[in-house]
Amino acid sequence: MKTLLNYIIHQPTSPASSTPIILIHGLFGDLNNLGVLARDLKNHYITLQVDVRNHGDSFRSESMNYAEMAQDIIDLVTGLGYSKVILIGHSMGGKIAMAASAIKPELIENIVVIDMAPVAYQQHRHQHIFSALQAVLDNHATSRQTAAVIMREYLSEEGVIQFLLKSFRQGEWKFNLPVLIQQYDNIIGWQQLPSWSGKILFIPGGNSSYVKPEYRDIIAEQFPNASAWVVAGADHWVHAEKPETVLRAIHRFLAA
Residues carrying an active site annotation? 91, 236
Integer Cα distance of 68 and 150 in angstroms: 34
Q: Nearest to residue 24, comparing CAs of 92, 125, 76, 77?
A: 92
Provide φ and ψ at 127, rounded to 5°: -60, -40
Other Cβ atoms within 10 Å of 106 Cβ, number: 9
Other Cβ atoms within 10 Å of 143 Cβ, number: 12
Integer Cα distance of 97 and 99 in angstroms: 5
Cα–Cα distances in Å, from 57 out to 53, 81, 126, 167? 8, 22, 22, 11
Per DSSP, 155 falls in state -
Handedness of CA 197, 201, 207, 208 (dihedral sign): negative
Are residues 67 and 30 in contact, defined by beta-carbon separation less than 8 angstroms?
A: no
Cα–Cα distances in Å, from 64 out to 19, 68, 253? 28, 7, 30
